[in-house]
Structure 1
Amino acid sequence: MFSHGVLRLSLRGVLLLALVAGCATSGDAPDMRGGANSGAIDVGNGPKGGNGNTDSGDGHDGGETCGNPEVHVIGVYEARGDHSGGSHPTGNAVVHVERTGPQVLVLSSYEPVNWKVTAVPNANIQYILALGYHAQSVEAPQGVQVKVLDYETQGVFAGCAYEYPDDDPHSGCETPQLLEEVKRLTGQEVSSFHGCYQGTSFTLHADLSADSSCPAGSGGGYNLSGYVSQVCSAGDGDGNGGGEACGNPEVHVLGVYEARGDHSGGSHPTGNAVVHVERTGPQVLVLSSYEPVNWKVSAVPGANIQYILALGYHAQRVEAPQGVEVKVLDYETRGSYAGCAYEYPDDDPHRGCETPQLLEEVKRLTGQEVSSFHGCYQATSFTLHGDLSAGSSCPAAPGGDYNLSGYVSQVCSASLIAR
C-alpha cells in the first residue's frame, strides 16, 4: 500500500495556491506567461457573483480553502461564427456544473464570450478563471469569485484550446500549452477538459462527463472532445469515498491516548470511541490512539471521506461508513507504529506520544498537509463540525492533555466563518 513513503490511496502532494500580485503585463505582443510574475494567481480581490461569501465548510466558498480543489476546463474557439477582419462580436455561452465538491472552473475562448455559469448546490466553485485573446466576461453564481485574463482587456494571453487530443499543433490554440498554463496559474493538476471549436452550452456532469451544443460536424475540433485525468476517473463525485479521487483532500486528525482507563501491566482491554463528521467535501480522516480502540465513524451526506487511516501502538479497528476504505497501521497487529498524539501544543515532548512527530508522519503517509488536529488524553466521542471546530467527551480535568485541544491550519482558518 506504500510507494516512496506515501500511502497509495493518497493524492498528489499539497500544492497551496501561491498568492502573486498582479497579472497584467504591458507590451505589443501577447504575453503567454500569464503575467509579469510567475506562479499561481491571486483571486483575493477579484469580483464575485452575487454578494459574495466565505467558506463555512458547507460546500459554498469564495476563494481559497484547505485541501486542494479539482480543476475543470471548458474550451472553445468561439461562441458565434460571424467574426471577420476587425469585427469580433461577443458570443454567449452557458455552463452548468453538476459536479460537487471543491473545484476551480476555467473557461477559455479565443473570440470574445460572455459566460453564464450556474451550478447545483454543493458545487463548491472556489473561483472561475476566464482566459482568452479577446474580451471575456463571466456571470457567476452568487459568492463565486471571478478572475479574467485576456489580451484585449488585461494584456495577458494564456492561450486557448478546444480539442483533445490536439490534432493540429499549429492552429494557434494549442491544448497542451493551455493546460500547462492552467496548471501554473492555479497551482493544481487539471482534472478534466472538454471543448469544441464552437459551443454555446456545456453541462459538466457529476461523473465528469459532459454534454454540449457542439455540432456533429467533421473533424475533432468541431465535435465535443476531452479527457478526465486518471486520478479523477477513480472517483465519481457523488460524495462517497472509496479510495482516491481527483483534487487533494483535507486531512483531519483525531487523537487520544486511550478510550478507557482500566489498563494495567499486560492488560489492554479495547475501548470504544465514536466519531461523527459534519465537515463536507473530500477529506481523509486519521484516528490515533496508543491503547486499543474500536472506532465507529459516521458522517453527514457530502462528507466525502476518501479513506480512514487508523494509527496506534495497540490494535485499532474501524467501523466505517459504507464504501469508505480503511487502512490500519498499528504495532500490535501490523508491526508498524507511526506514533500517537493527543494534545496541541505538545506540553511534554518526552512522554512517548509526540504530536509534532505524529503530524509529520501523517503528512508522509497521506502526502498532504494536515488540515486540523483535535485530541485529548481520554475520550469516547468526537464531532468534527463543518467549521472544523470539534466537540468531544474529553473531561474538563486540569492539564492541557485532558482537555480538548487542537488547531486548524492557517490555510483552512482563512476560509472559515468565525463562530
Structure 2
Amino acid sequence: MRPGYLSQLCFLLLTACLSAACSRPIQNASTSRTIPNPIPVAEPAAVLHVIGVYQGALPASADKRAWWAKCQAAKRAAGDHAAIKPNECGDFLSQPHVQRTVTVNISDDSSPVVLGLMSYEPATWQIELAPGVQLRKVIMAGYHQQSVTGVGDRQIDVYTYERSECERCVQKGGHFYSYQQVPAKMEAAAGLKAKSFQGNYTGGRYVVFKGMQ
C-alpha cells in the first residue's frame, strides 16, 4: 500500500470521529445531577413525668395548727380554759377542704413532656416552664377539684371525682390518684410509661429536670 494513500485514509477516519463527537449534544451537568430527597428528622418521643401528693402546701399566711389546737385557742379566747371535748370542736372538724398549691418547675427540654399531676385534696398546680421546654399535654387526677396555671393553651385531661371547672380542662371518665406510685390508669391516660415519679403526703414544690428517672 502506498504511503500517501495510508496517510489520506488516517486523515479521513480522524475527521469522521471528530465530527461524530462534535454532533453529540452537550449535557448540562447542573440539570443532570440527581438531588436526593431530604431525610425526614423524626420528632423525639414524648416522656411522661408524674407527681403525686395527698395534699399541697398551704400559703405562708395560713393557720397551720391542727383542728384541736384551733379549738382550744378558741375556747381560751372566750375565757374557757378547761380541756376541750370532742363534741365542742365540731366546727373545726367539719371545715371545708382548703385549696392548696403545688409548684412544678420543668427544665427538661430533651423531649416533649406529658405531665401527670395527682392530689387527693383540692390543689392549684403552678407550672413553671424553662425556655425550650415542649409541654405537650397535662393530665390532672384526684378526688377533689384541681386547677392548673402556667400551661398556656396546652391540652388538659382531668380525672377527678369532683368536677374540675378549670379553663381548657376536659373532664374524662373515672378518677384516680396516688402519692406512692404511678397508677396504671395514669399511664393508660397518657399512652406512655412513666419516666419519673415524685410523691409525698404533703408536697409544695417539685423540679423536673433533664435525665431524671
2:179 maps to 342
Change (3 A) 1:264 1:290: farther
Aligned to 1:374: 198
Superposition map of 1:343-358 within 5 A = 343=180, 355=181, 358=183
Say whether residues 1:254 and 2:60 are aligned partners. Answer: no
Q: TM-score, normalised by structure 1?
A: 0.31
- Provide the rounded CA distance (Å) in 2 between the counterparts of 1:251 and 1:310: 13
Give the equivalent residue in structure 1 for 2:83: none
SS in 2 for 1:362: helix
Q: Say if 2:147 is the partner of 1:308.
A: no
In the TM superposition, residue 378 of structure 1 has moved relative to its aligned partner by: 0.8
How many pairs does the alignment contain?
145
Which has more radius of gyration?
A: 2
Q: Could you say if the C-alpha distance between residues 266 and 313 of structure 1 is closer, same or farther in structure 2, counting changes exceeding 3 Å?
A: farther
Q: Which residue of 1 aligns with 2:34?
A: 222
For the structure 1 residues 336 and 271, does the alpha-carbon distance in structure 2 shift closer, same or farther, using more than 3 Å as the test?
A: farther
Instruction: Identify the residue that residue 272 of structure 1 maps to in structure 2.
Output: 101
Q: 1:216–1:223: 8 Å Cα contact kept in structure 2?
A: no
Question: What aligned pairs does 1:2-401 form with structure 2 within 5 A after superposition?
Answer: 217=31, 222-225=34-37, 246-259=43-56, 260=58, 265=94, 267-281=96-110, 282-333=112-163, 334=171, 336-343=173-180, 355=181, 358=183, 360-388=184-212
8 Å CA contact 1:329, 1:336 repeated in 2: yes
Cα distance change on mapping 1:258 and 1:336 into 2, 3 Å: farther
Greater helix content: 2
How far apart are the structure 1 equivalents of 2:209 and 2:37? 40
224 and 216 in structure 1: CA distance in 2 versus 1, 3 angstrom threshold? farther
Supply the RMSD in Å over aligned alpha carbons. Answer: 3.0
**Alignment partners' CA distance in 2, 1:306 and 1:292:** 24
- Relative contact order (alpha carbons < 8 A, sep ≥ 6): 1 or 2 greater? 2
Deviations 1:264-284 (A, max 9, x none): 547222111111012222221
**Offset at 1:372?**
0.6
Unaligned runs of 5+ in 1: 1-214, 233-245, 344-354, 389-407, 409-419
Distance 1:216 1:271, change over 3 A: farther
**Unaligned 5+ residue runs, structure 2?**
1-28, 59-63, 68-91, 164-170
Structure 1 residue 216: deviation in Å? Answer: 7.1
* Distance (whole Å) between structure 2 residues aligned to residue 310 and residue 222 of structure 1: 52
CA distance in 2, matches of 1:369, 1:223: 41
